[in-house]
């Protein structure tokens, strides 16, 4: 195994219409494509890593954003069919959940160590928000020496900046657009 699929922040708070910081229909629209890639990686015995916002009450992020993804709440749980997929397979060796408190899933987590320990070289990015957490995680992967890949069909964001940030990842982090 030398590939990992990072599913970034596909939580109820970011995807569900009732989420506190929801991208809404744009995020819901990518769920089938994300599930297809999850299943491909799973069937190929590659890694699927869920990198999920996980905050506590009073977190500094709530100075900028509404409260969201508070540990052990509905909002922090994986959304819909992605959550069902995870629950059915979370004990598998190649299915990993990594809580994060910053935009970059590598920052102050063991993500890089997990990837290195498992001889992962290629990291595929998906989730929300393209211009915040996905973008910053692309940087984290780049600075840790991983090759990154992204499919626009597997990312969504609040703004109209999706394509700009995907092109920016390609230009400065050498993220391959697939």
Please tell me the distance from the alpha carbon of residue 129 to that of residue 103, in angstroms, as a whole number.
9
Q: Cα separations (Å) of 50 from 53, 62, 72, 159, 174?
A: 10, 22, 16, 23, 22
- Measured in whole angstroms, how far is the alpha carbon of residue 99 from the centre of its chain? 10
Please tell me the distance from the alpha carbon of residue 167 to that of residue 128, in angstroms, as a whole number.
16
Span 75-113, pLDDT tens digits: 999 999 999 999 999 999 999 999 999 999 999 999 999
Span 113-129, pLDDT tens digits: 999 999 999 999 999 99
- Candidates 102, 148, 106; CA nearest to 125 is 148
Torsion sign, CA atoms 125, 3, 35, 15: negative
Number of domains in the chain: 1
Domain that holds residue 22: 3-177
Span 57-80, pLDDT tens digits: 999 989 999 999 999 999 999 999
Which residue is it, tokens 């190929």? 44
CATH number of 60's domain: 3.40.50.850
């Amino acid at each position: 195994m030398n590939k990992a699929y990072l599913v970034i922040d596909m939580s109820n708070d970011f995807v569900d219409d009732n989420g506190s910081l929801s991208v809404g229909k744009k995020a819901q629209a990518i769920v089938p494509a994300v599930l297809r890639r999850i299943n491909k990686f799973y069937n190929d015995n590659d890694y699927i890593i869920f990198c999920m916002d996980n905050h506590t009450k009073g977190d500094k992020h709530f100075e900028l954003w509404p409260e969201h993804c508070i540990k052990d709440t509905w909002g922090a749980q994986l959304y819909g069919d992605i959550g069902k997929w995870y629950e059915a397979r979370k004990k598998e060796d190649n299915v990993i959940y990594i809580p994060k408190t910053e935009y970059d899933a590598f920052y102050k987590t063991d993500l890089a160590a997990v990837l290195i320990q498992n001889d992962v070289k290629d990291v595929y990015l998906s989730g929300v928000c393209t211009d915040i957490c996905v973008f910053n995680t692309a940087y984290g992967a780049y600075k840790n020496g991983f090759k990154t890949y992204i499919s626009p069909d597997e990312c969504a964001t609040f703004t109209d900046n999706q394509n700009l940030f995907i092109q920016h990842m390609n230009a400065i982090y050498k993220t391959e657009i697939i």
